[in-house]
Amino acid sequence: MFWEDDFPELRRRRRLFFGDRFFDEVDKMMEEMFKEAFSEMPKDMIRERKLPGGGTVKEMGPFVYGYSITMGPDGKPVVREFGNVKPSLRAGPRGAPKLELKDEREPLVDVLVNNDVRVVAELPGVDKKDIKLDASDGTLTISVNTEDHKYYKKIDLPTEVDPDSSKASYKNGVLEVTLAKRQKKEGKGIRIE
């Protein structure tokens, strides 16, 4: 199997203890999984690097997936995912869930609501000038598109905000955006005659 070429000692030990036929089905399954993963991987996620001895090695990634769990204002947990690997609704081989790999990473984001709405996002490795923010009444979009870093996140805000009131700061890889809540307009009473 092609992946065994990178792990000759593992191959030798496996064949010594279990024989050649024990893992044949597993080998076929692993080979199918690797081929599918490589065929669907964005080309900029695969790089070749020359080694000092003259050989080359393939490097892949970065692959990032994580989540944070916080308690919402209603007392229910809020789960937020981040990274560039997402579970897909499409099924992969043998019905297993398929993973989608995106070019841009989704940053880790926290939304805090008090007198205003504060959005804190982790954007390591970028310059302030490369961050693009777009706010509307109910959403905030954060994007970075440079050669080395690509981030994208559209955040549905928990309350309407005034986009013109936004203030943003970026320090040590952390972006903080503060937006004023939109003041609700009081309706005029209707007098019944």
Q: What is the pLDDT of residues 25-55, one digit of tens each?
A: 777 777 777 777 666 666 666 778 888 888 8
pLDDT of residue 58: 78
pLDDT of residue 167: 92
* pTM: predicted TM-score of the whole model, two decimal places: 0.60
Q: What is the pLDDT of residues 64-97, one digit of tens each?
A: 777 778 777 788 887 877 887 776 666 655 566 6
Q: What is the pLDDT of residues 51-65, one digit of tens each?
A: 888 888 877 777 777
Going along the chain from its start, the domains and CATH numbers come out as 2-60 (no CATH), 65-181 (2.60.40.790)
Helices (H), 5-116: 8-18, 24-40
Residue 66: name the closest of 107, 118, 23, 126 by CA: 107
pLDDT of residue 155: 92
Q: What is the pLDDT of residues 91-127, one digit of tens each?
A: 655 566 666 777 788 898 988 888 999 999 999 999 9
Residue 158: name the closest of 63, 67, 80 by CA: 80
pLDDT of residue 128: 92
Is the predicted pLDDT of residue 137 greater than 90, yes or no? no
Spatial separation of the C-alpha atoms in residues 152 and 132, rounded to whole Å: 10
pLDDT of residue 1: 46
Contact in structure between 109 and 80 (CB atoms under 8 Å)? yes
Mean pLDDT of the region 158-183 = 90
Count other Cβ atoms within 10 Å, centred on residue 73: 10
